Amino acid sequence: MKKKLQYMNELFNSNPYFRELSRTKKILSKIRFIILRIFKNTALIDYVQYNYFLLNSNGIKRFIDMRKRRTISNKLNNSPKVEIFDNKSLFNQYFSNFLKRQWIDMKHANLQDVEKLIKSVSSILVKPADGSFGIGIEKYNCSDIVDIEKFYCQYSKSDCVIEEVVEQHQEIAQFNVDSLNTFRIVTVKTSNRVDIFGAVFRIGRKGSIVDNHHSGGLSAIVDVENGIICSNATDQNFSNFIFHPDSNIQIIGYKIPFWDEIITTVKEAALIIDEVSFVGWDVGINTKSEPVIIEGNRNADPDVLQRADQEGKWFDIKKYLQ
């Protein structure tokens, strides 16, 4: 209990809007959370990151919270085929035409396969097959792998995939050269079309190889109609950025290059698996100006679509659940 209270206090205090409240309002905000937790099963992270303590009940209802996220998944992705999106090897097999990079599954690769990959590309990523949030990913420069057999033995019994690193377009790399900066595009498939539910530009920080919001990256909302970033960027610490804090490149107002090609790519990919209708696609742009799908998320976290602009998206998605 002591650790839970400590975590609750730390999360509340990480929010700058909460820190601005008077001592009395802080206490009342925490009491309100406990009441909502008991009667509505409200998650602490939702209460804090969407500033529920500043909203009335109608304002709270606008947001996709953890309970509603499960409802979306149960309604739109209620199929055994979601396994394809949970395993990177399966995903790469089904969506091979959208990858634009070499890869191998270490469950089935031999030493020759690994040697061929290492000698044909400049750098690689080792990814846990069932990983998420960018956790557990390791990057290697192939020129640094002197003993290929030793490298093979290190991962030969691991459930992982090894992928060629996508060399990103200079327009996107200018924000942060250390990570592959990607676009999270969420699609909803109906019986006769694929709709774009929302889009976010995800940008890594200096020294980090991942751009994931949950691993320290930034995220900003993109207007799906024109590909222009229409919000400040935010991070897990509730900070807001007009300019990237490391590269000093302005984020809001930036027009994403090759936006039409990105949208076309995810709409085509969304048609591959009939039984999975709600997917968050992570897409990069390579040096050939081609959209490259990194992965698909069948249980895409709604926080990046709602946190930067603090606009709840529940009523936008609800129409697809009828």
What pLDDT is stored for residue 213 in this prediction? 75
Q: Which residue has the tokens 């890594």?
A: 204
Q: Which two tokens stand for residue 140?
A: 């290697």
What pLDDT is stored for residue 208 in this prediction? 86
144 and 284 fall within a common domain: no
What pLDDT is stored for residue 98 in this prediction? 98
188 and 307 fall within a common domain: yes
Q: Which of 164, 182, 201 is the last residue of a domain?
A: 164
What pLDDT is stored for residue 191 in this prediction? 84
183 occurs within a structural domain:
yes
49: CB partners within 8 A, 6+ apart: 15, 238, 303, 307
49 occurs within a structural domain:
yes
Instruction: Please give the model's pTM, rounded to 2 decimal places.
Output: 0.93
- In Å, what is the CA distance from 186 to each residue of 16, 116, 202, 215, 278? 29, 35, 13, 20, 7
269 and 210 fall within a common domain: yes
Query: In the sheet where 160-164 sits, what is the strand order?
Result: 103-105, 160-164, 123-128, 138-141
Amino acid at the residue 102: Q
Number of domains in the chain: 3
Give backbone dihedrals phi and psi of 263, rounded to 5 degrees, phi first.
-65, -45
95 occurs within a structural domain:
no
CATH code of the domain covering residue 210: 3.30.470.20
- Walk along the chain (322 residues) and give the pLDDT tens digit of each residue: 778 889 999 999 999 999 999 999 999 999 999 999 999 999 999 999 999 999 999 999 999 999 999 999 999 999 999 999 999 999 999 999 999 999 999 999 999 999 999 999 999 999 998 877 677 889 999 999 999 999 999 999 889 999 999 999 999 999 999 999 999 999 999 988 999 999 999 999 998 888 877 778 999 999 999 999 999 999 988 899 999 999 999 999 999 999 999 999 999 999 999 999 999 999 999 999 999 999 999 999 999 899 999 999 999 999 999 8
What pLDDT is stored for residue 47 in this prediction? 97
83 and 139 fall within a common domain: no
Distance spanning both ends of the chain, measured CA to CA: 40
160 and 223 fall within a common domain: no
CATH code of the domain covering residue 138: 3.30.1490.20
225 and 261 fall within a common domain: yes
205 and 79 fall within a common domain: yes
29 and 79 fall within a common domain: no
Distance of CA 299 to the CA centre of its chain: 10
What pLDDT is stored for residue 158 in this prediction? 86
144 and 183 fall within a common domain: no
160 and 183 fall within a common domain: no
203 and 299 fall within a common domain: yes
User: Which residues of the chain form beta strands (DSSP E)?
Assistant: 103-105, 123-128, 138-141, 160-164, 182-189, 194-203, 218-223, 228-229, 233-234, 240-241, 278-285, 291-297
What pLDDT is stored for residue 113 in this prediction? 96
- How deeply is 22 buried, as exposed, middle or buried, from its count of CB atoms within 10 A (0-12, 13-18, 19+)? exposed
40 occurs within a structural domain:
yes
106 occurs within a structural domain:
yes
203 occurs within a structural domain:
yes
Q: Are 179 and 203 contacting, i.e. CB atoms less than 8 angstroms apart?
A: yes
Domain membership of residue 301 as a residue range: 72-88+168-321
174 and 160 fall within a common domain: no
277 occurs within a structural domain:
yes
53 occurs within a structural domain:
yes
